[in-house]
Every structure is written in structure tokens, then in C-alpha cells.
A and B are shown apart, each in its own frame.
Chain A
Amino acid sequence: MNKMTCCILFLGTSLSVSTHIANASSGSSIALQGNSNGAPPCVTCHGGKALGRPLTGIPYLNGQPKAYLIKQLNDFANDRRVNTVMQQNAGALTSEEINAVANYYSKLPLPEKPTDYKNEADNITGKRLTENGKWSSGVPACFKCHGDRGQGIAPHFPAITGQPATYIETQLSHWKQGKRSNDPTSLMQAVVSKLTQKEMSAVADYLASKAPAETFSQKNQ
């Protein structure tokens, strides 16, 4: 290897490192400080470590698949997913900023503890639907598509364990009522059409009571 090659290699490496840092910082700065176009910091609502806020039903973002986060932000920005606050906030981000902030959160580990403790002792329905499904009605287990512990399956299926019960239940209800319809190939709409309100509540409580698979979060990186 001659000097010139070394030099080029070195330059290439330093360039890619600096690009990486620039992306990472712009993602983290949006998350922690917002941008100059009126987007507030994500952490304001999603919690100090973006681990969600159970009481208000705001989901955690850490460790979610990058493509999933990009799609949700784009869908909010283009009114394909409805939430007044998020439609406005996502609309204040450029597509580069959406990529950067999605990249930032996708690299963070999944939360290690449930964000919303629920008593799962008697929740047989929630456990059954989440882990085994209701195949007699054509409903696969939640974990069939969201990972064997609900840790998500990139690129399209988000982590669901440990999300606040209110968040999960609201999303399921919205799909059932037709208020949310941005799921790929209408899969979630098909699932909830075969679930009762009581079953959706039980699933939400059960998922909220589980840790989002901390042992998997490391391997996902």
C-alpha cells in the first residue's frame, strides 16, 4: 500500500465519520431541542428518555425500526395518520430531519422496563391473544408479526411490548373505527375487525405489563 492510497483511505474514513456525526447530532438535536421551524423537542411529550408517558398514552420511540418511524412521521405530515399535535410537528420537519430523527431513535435501545405497569395476573385473555392469537377467527398472535416478545420486526412492524396501555388501546380502537388506516396492506384493520372492545383492552393491558424485551434490544443493533 503506497502513501497516496493510505491518504485516500484515511480521508474517506474521516469523511464518513464526520457525516455520521452530523446525522447523529441533527437527529439528537431535533429529539432534544426541536428545530427552528417550530417543531418542539420530541422528548417534551415522549418523555425525558423518550420512553413514553403512560398517563397521557404517549408511546416510547426508542428502538423502533427506522423505516417504521419515517413512515409514521411522513404519514402524520401528509395527513395519512391523524393526531393534531403530531400532524403539526411532523409537518414542521424536512424529510432529511425526519430521516435523522428516525435514525436517532432507532439506534437507542428498547426500554428495559414496562412503561405502564398493569396487573397481568388475571389477564388470561390478553396473554392468550398476544402470545397465541385467536386462530379460530383468523387472528394470529400479536407476537407473530411484532416479534416473539413484541420487540418489533424491522422494517415494518413496531415494538409493542411496554407501550402504555392507553396508547395501544387507542390505536386498536382507531383502526376498528376507521380513524387510523395507514397500516401496510390493512393488516391491523383486518385483525381488529375480529376482536371485541374487551379483547382489545385486555391486549393493551397485557402488552403494557411486559418489559420490551431488553435482551433483544442489544442484538437488534
Chain B
Amino acid sequence: MKAIPFLLVISTGLATALQTSMVFSDDTVVYALEPETALAVKPYLPPSEQTIPHNQFGEMVLLGKAIFTDTKKHASQYVGNGLSCSNCHLNAGRLSHSAPLWAAWVKYPAYRSKNNRVNTMEERIQGCFTYSMNGSPPPADSKELKALMSYAYWLAKGAPTGINLPGRGYPKLEKPTEKPDTARGKQLYVNNCAVCHGEDGEGTKTNNEYAFPPLWGRDSFNWGAGMHRINTAAAFIRANMPLAKGGSLSNQQAWDVAYYINSHERPQDPRYSGSTEATKRVYHQHQCRYGEKHDSNILGGKD
């Protein structure tokens, strides 16, 4: 029944006004769907891999996919932890509601409040390496970044440019009824997450490589990554976790388990100024636990 007011509003030509009232994250990760595009744009499907051309461009697309799905192996000099791009962008960046690459491609260049300027797609990807991969950004003219750009471009073949495609980012969650809680979160984690991510968030290795990603600790994303924000992690978890059981946790449960996961220590924010308090004041005015006290420690309190 919720769709009816949208239809009525749009039919009276007020769609634009309504669109501007939609909520946007300042980190270009969590999006409410724009009602206008939700009705007007067909779900976008990225091309089949069989259509990757057999030429130099196709080779770069394939290299981009290889980097995306096994980042440490193919872009090791830029990676500082045990993660791959595809840990958060599921199905090799193809999956709707899991921050698909094709939906990001058509929305860049874009202003980001995270660094208070307009970012190109290259800069956006570089940001992922700095924070989510806790590494260093591949230069724009490096083979690695060109390959990732080629892969994202190819995934967006035929997609309309400049609009929020349905499935972009992670579906924004309603606020939780109760304040997120680490005790409830821990129990949920043990029951639903530990089988893959380990009892202590350490991930699971096979052949000395991560088969399931670490969620906290030194091999996980750092305090500057989008996923350290409770709302972003909760949105990802609610839509996608556990694998094959996306949507099985309630709204409240997603918030609780995201809160628990992000109440652990992880690599320092690269923008750390020497003071957790000052870094928090400048860069962490959002839903996260950076600089907060937890189990007698200050999260993000280590150099």
C-alpha cells in the first residue's frame, strides 16, 4: 500500500520535490531509493561474462575482476589487510543491494562529504584501498586501477548515467526500536556469524589465505572504512548476511550485530592526527564507536 502515495505524488508532477526529500548518506554507501527512479527505471542487469571481448580491453576487464575478487593476490602492494573488494561487494560487484559497481559507475564524479570535494571514480576506488583495504591507493595510471576502472565500466554497459539505479549501495534501514546493544549483538554473532567469521571475528583461513573475511582486528578494515559505521554495516548485514539467508535477521538484530562487530579494535584511521579525540571530532561525527569507551578501552585509542 505504501506505493500508492508515490504514484499519486508523481502523477501530480511533484516527483522532483519528493526526490530531494529523500535521505542520503554522506558516504555514498547507504541510499534510500528515489521514488522517481524506482518507478521509471527497470532493474539493471550487468552483462554476462561470456560477452567480455577477446581483446586488450577484455583482458583488462578480466584483470579487474581478478583484482576485485582476490585483491591481495593481484594488487598486493596496495593491500594492508586480509580483505578483498568482493567481501563487501558480493558476487564480484554484480549484486544489487550489495553496493554493485555498475550503480556506482554511473554516479561519478560526485561530491563526497567524507573529503568535502568532488571525487572521480578513480578517487572513489582509491578511497576503498586507503580505508577498507587498509592499504595505499593505487595511482590513477597504474595497471591495477585501470583494470578496476575497466571492470566497473564494462559492468555498467548500457546503464543510464547520472541516476541512482535501483539496487545501488545497501538498502537504508529504519532506525532500531531499541538502542543497539553489544550483549544482544554478541549472541546473534555467535549464533549466525561465527561459523564463517570465527568466534573472535578473525575470519577463517584455508591454505593460509582468508576464505571468510576477518571482521575486526589487524587484518580487517580500518576505522576510516565505510563499514565501521554502524548504519552501513547494519544495512549490508540486513540485506546480505548470512550468505544465502539475507533478510533473515530483523531490523533490530542487524543493528545489534553491526554494533557488536564495530565495538572491537581495528586498524587506526589513516587520518589519525595523534589524538583519538581530535580525530573523532573532525572525522567521526556519524554513527560509529570510534573514540568511545568499550570494556575499559578507548576504541581507536591506539597509535
Contact = CB atoms under 8 A, between A and B. Distances in A.
Contacts of A191: 244
Contacts of B247: 138
A5 to B, nearest CB: 34
A135 B46 CA distance: 13
Interface in B190-236: 191-192, 195-196, 204, 206-208, 211-212
B9 interface: no
Nearest to A194: B244
Interface stretch (B30-38, B89-97, B287-295): B89-97
Contacts of A174: none
A220 B207 contact: yes
Contact of A135 (B94, B192, B204): B94
Contacts of B195: 156, 184-185, 187
A151 B91 CA distance: 20
B16 to A, nearest CB: 32
A145 B196 contact: yes
Interface residues of A, number: 25
A153 interface: yes
B242 interface: yes
Given A135-B94, A140-B244, A145-B243, A185 B206 contact: no
A206 B139 CA distance: 42
Interface residues of B, number: 21
B242 A187 contact: yes
Interface in A96-115: none
A190 B192 CA distance: 13
Contacts of A186: 245
Nearest to A139: B244
Nearest to B98: A135
Contact of A153 (B212, B243, B248): B212
A39 interface: no
Given A135-B91, A153-B212, A156-B195, A185 B204 contact: no
Interface string B101-143: 0000000000000000000000000000000000000000000
Contacts of A117: none
Given A145-B196, A153-B211, A216-B207, A185 B191 contact: yes
Nearest to B91: A135
B246 interface: yes
A133 interface: yes
A167 B244 CA distance: 22
Contacts of B243: 140, 144-145, 187
A219 interface: yes
Interface string A140-165: 10001101100111101000000000
A185 B191 CA distance: 7
B244 A147 contact: no
Contacts of A144: 243
Contacts of A154: 204, 206
Interface in B234-263: 242-248
Given A135-B90, A156-B195, A187 B245 contact: yes
Interface of A: 132-133, 135, 138-140, 144-145, 147-148, 151-154, 156, 184-187, 190-191, 194, 216, 219-220
28 contacts: A132-B91, A135-B90, A138-B244, A138-B245, A139-B244, A140-B90, A140-B243, A140-B244, A144-B243, A147-B211, A151-B206, A152-B206, A153-B204, A153-B206, A153-B212, A154-B206, A156-B196, A184-B195, A185-B195, A185-B242, A186-B245, A187-B244, A190-B244, A190-B245, A191-B244, A216-B207, A219-B208, A220-B207
> Which 7 residue pairs across A and B have the least CB separation, nearest first?
A135-B91, A184-B195, A190-B244, A153-B211, A219-B207, A190-B245, A140-B243
